[in-house]
């Protein structure tokens, strides 16, 4: 069976993997094919093209692609070099760190030089604001895994994703609990100096009734850190004083002490 197909099937067969971890895993597996000198060059080129098709989602492969480009010498697998440069361009802003390596390949062949020009333009043009626009559109996807990837990517952009804040606030009510939790983290990362809003507080409080004690505990501790601003959900914390999990009970008492001190 084609090795690339096997990699894809292995990744798809792991439903427990988080969406962004799955993307990173696939990108690194494909990058491993690219850098393996024992494999036919045609397979390595095909893996590189697949990374290019993944675009922004293949950011985890950038270090390996950069290293491979640095290792290849003049006249060595020129088609592979060209394809790596092209893939880095398609990956966009995550490949900015690869620009020095891309520049060092100049002058080897006309095709590589043309690829360098295209890739450099693509990488530099892939500004954070453009990434934000594309990711914001993905927040409207019917696929929860796509929404989750978009929320986490916006979180990673930090303050540069502030233009997506209205959409991230809407994601605080996402029907998928994992997307909702990621949105809480993203909102706080995008505006780190802002106090938790009522929307954030109520979104966190939704996890107080989770069947998973670990999730309940995380929610309780988060609300405790919010202090008095979490007072609007103090009544929801009261039942957790008798929670079946002792850690949750202890955390609930501590949180209520911070939220509504006597």
Contact 29, 7 (CB under 8 A): yes
Statement to judge: residues 110 and 138 lie in one domain: no
Helices 41-54 and 19-35: crossing angle in degrees, nearest 10, is 150
Q: Is residue 51 part of a domain?
A: yes
Alpha-carbon gap, residue 227 to 157, rounded angstroms: 27
Cβ-proximal residues to 130 (8 Å cutoff; 6+ apart), any chain: none
Average pLDDT over residues 96-107: 94
Token pair of 113 as six digits: 């030089």
Statement to judge: residues 7 and 121 lie in one domain: yes
Closest of 102, 105, 118 to residue 66, by C-alpha: 102
pLDDT at 73 over 90: no
Alpha-carbon gap, residue 215 to 166, rounded angstroms: 26
Q: Is residue 200 part of a domain?
A: no
Residue 210 structural domain: 205-262
The pLDDT assigned to 17 comes to 43
pTM above 0.85, yes or no: no
Contact 237, 220 (CB under 8 A): yes
pLDDT band at 2 (very low <50, low <70, confident <90, very high): low
Of 104, 125, 146, the domain-final residue: 125
Q: Is residue 199 part of a domain?
A: no
Statement to judge: residues 89 and 105 lie in one domain: yes
Helix spans in 58-104 (H): 62-71, 78-91, 99-104
Statement to judge: residues 115 and 132 lie in one domain: no
Number of folded domains in the chain?
3
Statement to judge: residues 115 and 18 lie in one domain: yes
How far apart, in Å, do the first and last CA atoms of the chain sit? 67
Statement to judge: residues 145 and 251 lie in one domain: no
Statement to judge: residues 152 and 223 lie in one domain: no
Alpha-carbon gap, residue 186 to 132, rounded angstroms: 13
DSSP string, 105-144: TTTS-HHHHHHHHHHHHHHHH--HHHHHHHHHHHTT-S-H
Statement to judge: residues 80 and 145 lie in one domain: no
Helix (H) or strand (E) holding 24: helix 19-35
Average pLDDT over residues 97-103: 94
Question: CATH number, domain at 243?
Answer: 1.25.10.10
Alpha-carbon gap, residue 220 to 147, rounded angstroms: 25
Contact 101, 69 (CB under 8 A): yes
For 24-59, the pLDDT digits (tens) are 999 999 999 999 999 999 999 999 999 999 888 899
Q: Is residue 254 part of a domain?
A: yes
The pLDDT assigned to 260 comes to 77
The pLDDT assigned to 18 comes to 54
Q: Is residue 153 part of a domain?
A: yes
Statement to judge: residues 83 and 147 lie in one domain: no
Q: Is residue 120 part of a domain?
A: yes
Closest of 37, 24, 21 to residue 63, by C-alpha: 24
Statement to judge: residues 156 and 260 lie in one domain: no
pLDDT at 13 over 50: no
Statement to judge: residues 152 and 75 lie in one domain: no
pLDDT at 95 over 80: yes
Contact 151, 189 (CB under 8 A): no
Of 94, 125, 156, the domain-final residue: 125
Q: Is residue 179 part of a domain?
A: yes
Q: Is residue 56 part of a domain?
A: yes
User: 146: which DSSP letter?
Assistant: H
The pLDDT assigned to 86 comes to 96
Of 194, 223, 246, the domain-final residue: 194
For 161-205, the pLDDT digits (tens) are 888 999 999 999 999 999 999 999 999 999 988 999 999 999 999
For 136-156, the pLDDT digits (tens) are 999 999 999 989 989 998 988
Statement to judge: residues 135 and 91 lie in one domain: no
């Amino acid at each position: 069976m084609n090795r690339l197909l096997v990699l894809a099937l292995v990744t798809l067969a792991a439903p427990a993997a988080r969406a962004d971890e799955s993307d990173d895993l696939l990108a690194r597996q494909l990058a491993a094919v690219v850098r393996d000198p024992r494999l036919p060059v045609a397979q390595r080129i095909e893996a590189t093209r697949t990374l290019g098709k993944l675009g922004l989602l293949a950011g985890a492969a950038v270090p390996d692609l950069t290293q491979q480009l640095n290792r290849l010498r003049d006249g060595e697998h020129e088609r592979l070099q060209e394809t790596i440069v092209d893939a880095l361009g398609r990956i966009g802003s995550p490949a900015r760190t690869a620009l020095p390596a891309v520049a060092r390949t100049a002058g080897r062949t006309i095709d590589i030089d043309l690829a360098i020009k295209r890739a450099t333009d693509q990488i530099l043009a892939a500004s954070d604001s453009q990434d934000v626009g594309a990711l914001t559109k993905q927040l409207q996807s019917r696929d929860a895994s796509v929404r989750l990837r978009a929320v986490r990517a916006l979180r990673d952009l930090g303050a540069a994703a502030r233009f997506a804040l209205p959409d991230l606030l809407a994601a605080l009510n996402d029907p998928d609990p994992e997307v909702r939790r990621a949105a809480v983290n993203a909102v706080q990362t995008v505006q780190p100096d802002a106090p938790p809003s009522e929307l954030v507080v109520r979104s966190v409080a939704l996890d107080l009734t989770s069947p998973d004690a670990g999730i309940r505990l995380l929610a309780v501790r988060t609300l405790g850190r919010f202090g008095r601003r979490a007072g609007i959900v103090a009544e929801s914390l009261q039942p957790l004083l008798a929670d079946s999990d002792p850690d949750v009970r202890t955390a609930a008492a501590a949180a209520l002490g911070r939220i509504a001190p006597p």
